[in-house]
Structure 1
Amino acid sequence: MRSEMETAIREANLGNDDTDIARRYLIDQVPQIDIAAEFGWERSTISYRLKRILRKVESTAQKLHFT
């Protein structure tokens, strides 16, 4: 499962920041507030970006037949 998640994140072509956010949130299970602190952003910014990130990762996982 972890390797499939890593592959889906990589194949989603999210860009550097969003890839890092996806890995920290989905794989490392770091809370949004902690990710925001790491980036120096507001938690609301992470929440907003995660909505798009999760849609792209899920779509990619489906295309790769992971779901």
Structure 2
Amino acid sequence: MTVIVKEMPGTRVATVQIWVKAGSVYENAEEAGITHFIEHMIFKGTETRGPGELAGAIEGVGG
């Protein structure tokens, strides 16, 4: 695990980021394209959720 700390004197804010190895570079032949498909669903919407709704829901829980 790598931990990077950047102090910002004068602020009262803290953030935490967790990065995971995910994306098309990690897809096998059976999964090829799934990351791109999910990206389109998040930003363009689905049959039941409009554009940006999924992104908003993810942001709403801290994502």
Same fold (TM over 0.5): no
Larger Rg computed on CA atoms: 2
TM-score, normalized by length of structure 1? Answer: 0.27
* Structure with more of its chain in helix, by fraction: 1
Which protein has greater RCO, CA pairs closer than 8 Å, 6+ apart? 1
